[in-house]
Structure 1
């Protein structure tokens, strides 16, 4: 009888361990660039000027895989089940590079590439905030500057808010993506006014 009780207790422990061990699956997200069809039509230019984009800098609170939301003043929470599929700074850099490539008549390259030496302009972007606020708004604030021959020719700080859904991670990411697209459109329009001769 004791032997049977031990077996039953062992099975009960195994069953509980199985329940405890199963957890919800994490989902992974990426910011996406505009499709070429969504960008304004640009005439093809021979010998386009080159624009060198430095890697985007992000604050330390965003240097993590989890999506970040503000839950109150000076209070943030990390979503363990909804994560970025790659480092956010790398993802943002790639999206900005791809968006500017279709929004501008320029050859947009990374400052890490060999072609960056031919650049007429250099662009640096520093993100100050990029999260969902307590009211369910996606927020992006960034400082950015363009320089030519190490001289700053344009410097701005831009902020954007897009309505998001605090209960839907996919919609949060889409709203954050829209903020980044708006920043890219502003930067492209401003950079087009700079004489690159």
Structure 2
């Protein structure tokens, strides 16, 4: 056997071994974990109907910044550096998740019949509408979650009855994404209380 033939015969099993190692490595990719915001826990005892006039209420539109329009959880690692968690993702879009949990929290804070989300059901328009613009909703793992938002309360004719803006911070209980999502849930709870106050006024 010539030297060239011997080299070719050795190259085949070497290439095969490399291919098998690569395939084995691909099969061990990390599993993706999915998260959701959670509403305020229901009280153990029945609560009285929230005070204030009972009007139909609509939540939305809710505007989110483009950097959050993705399934990956976004965190900060510096003043100008952002991180996308490839294997830690939201189970639904952040905007829809935020709007849904905010609506659930408001249901226990204000008297609203019905309480609907934008776009409204066909043929109706709520007596009061809350339009929300979120400027920031992220955080640093193991540190603070931050929500910065503005909102307007409109009547059925579109007249602006109130406008507010605020920033909220909540410390995460641990260094993982589960703790960050829990902290962000508490931010939505705080925000819902302020929205409810503006509706009562």
Q: 1:112 aligns with which of 95, 99, 119?
A: 119
Q: Aligned to 1:102, which of 100, 108, 112?
A: 108
Task: Name the structure 2 match of 1:14.
Answer: 19
Map 1:139-178 → 2, pairs under 5 A: 139-148=146-155, 149-164=157-172, 167-178=175-186
List, as ranges, runs of 4+ consecutive aligned residues in structure 1 with deviation greater than 2 Å: 1-11, 34-45, 113-118
Change in CA separation of 1:174 and 1:39 when aligned onto 2, cut-off 3 Å = farther
- Inter-CA distance 91–39: structure 2 relative to 1 (3 Å threshold): farther
After superposition, the Cα gap between the structure-2 partners of 1:150 and 1:124, relative to the gap in structure 1 and judged at 3 Å, is same
Query: Which stretches in structure 1 are left out of the alignment for 5+ residues?
Result: none
| Residue 125 of structure 1: how far off its partner (Å) | 0.9
Deviation of residue 7 (structure 1)?
6.3
Shift in Å, 1:133: 3.7
Q: Displacement of 1:150 after TM fit? A: 1.2
Which stretch shows the higher mean deviation, 165-174 or 31-40? 31-40
Task: Please give the alpha-carbon distance, in whole angstroms, between the structure 2 residues aligned to 1:116 and 1:146.
Answer: 21
Q: Say what the alpha-carbon RMSD is for the aligned residues.
A: 2.8
**Structure 1, residues 43-75: CA drift from partner, whole Å, max 9, x if none?**
279x93101111311001101111111111122
| Unaligned ranges ≥5, structure 2 | none
Between Structure 1 and Structure 2, how many residues are aligned? 192
TM-score for the superposition, normalised by structure 2:
0.83
Q: Say whether the 8 Å CA contact 1:42–1:103 is kept in structure 2.
A: no
Q: Who wins on radius of gyration, i.e. which is larger?
A: 2
Question: Residues of 2 paired with 1:40 and 1:144: CA distance?
Answer: 30
1-structure distance, mates of 2:138, 2:185: 11
Partner of 1:132: 139
